[in-house]
Amino acid sequence: MLRSLAWRNVLAAAYPAARIPLLGVVSAYALGVALNALLPARGGDAVKIAVLRSRIPGSSVATLASSMSVVVLFDMVAATALVALVAATGSLPFAPDLPAGPALAWAGGGVAFAVALGFLARRWVGSRLSRIWEQARRGGAILRTPARYALRVAAVQAGAWLCRIGVVWCLLAAFGLAGGPLVAAMVMILCGVSTVVPLTPGGAGTQQVMLAYALSQTATAAAVLSFSVGMQAGVTAVNALLGLGAAMIAFRTMRPLAAIRSVRRLARA
């Protein structure tokens, strides 16, 4: 709900003349999250955009996609800050000891390469992508008003992060694994990282391997595997139920099977 509210506020800034219904954004987001756990290559993200494009008159794929990137921006900054805090304090036994010099050099080189590639692409493509670029810029309109972004997006997403960390913390305790808020936060980040390269639905398999390595010094491999599989299965089940309800709302039907068929048609399109 909180992440949907943040995304709705980003869209409201991108389309100030349009009415952006919160329920429509919530249903599109919940449906996309449920499908991401079931489909490879994060197919649920495309469904989010498709549903909202049909709900917001005059909207474009480029603007909706860039608005999603604005939401992800906070996640990247928060995750980076948390990993830096863990590395600086050494509060977790599995925190990697990375040499700062080579890491900064690689990061700087990557940024320079990206800038150069973007410059060359702009020179080669020219005005052919100018319209798409303008639409993409529109999705980040709220970033041009930092105070509004901080209040209506960043603060809301911070609340969402606290809720998600709380869920992982409770699950760690339920499986008898020791860990405080920092451990729960790092587990949440690792679960997110496992879906960056979407080889399997929801990062299944990849997530278990990463957590088994990360928590190897705090619990046995069997305990970590049990926790990881149980957490992924439980969260996926909840997301699937919420996604089914969201599909029924999005496609305006009281029949679950009709909603599922509508989702399948939308996914094929």
Amino acid 142: pLDDT: 94
Q: CA-CA distance, 170 to 173, in Å (whole number)?
A: 5
Count the domains in the chain: 1
Amino acid 37: pLDDT: 76
Domain assignment of residue 39, given as a range: 2-268
Whole-prediction pTM value?
0.78
Q: CA-CA distance, 117 to 38, in Å (whole number)?
A: 34
Q: CA-CA distance, 37 to 204, in Å (whole number)?
A: 9
Amino acid 205: pLDDT: 63
Rounded mean pLDDT for each run of 10 residues along the chain, 269 residues in total: 95 93 90 80 81 87 91 89 74 48 49 54 56 82 94 96 92 84 83 63 65 72 85 88 89 86 74
Using alpha carbons only, give the angle 67, 206, 159 rounded to the nearest 5 degrees. Answer: 40
Amino acid 95: pLDDT: 47
Amino acid 137: pLDDT: 87
Amino acid 43: pLDDT: 73
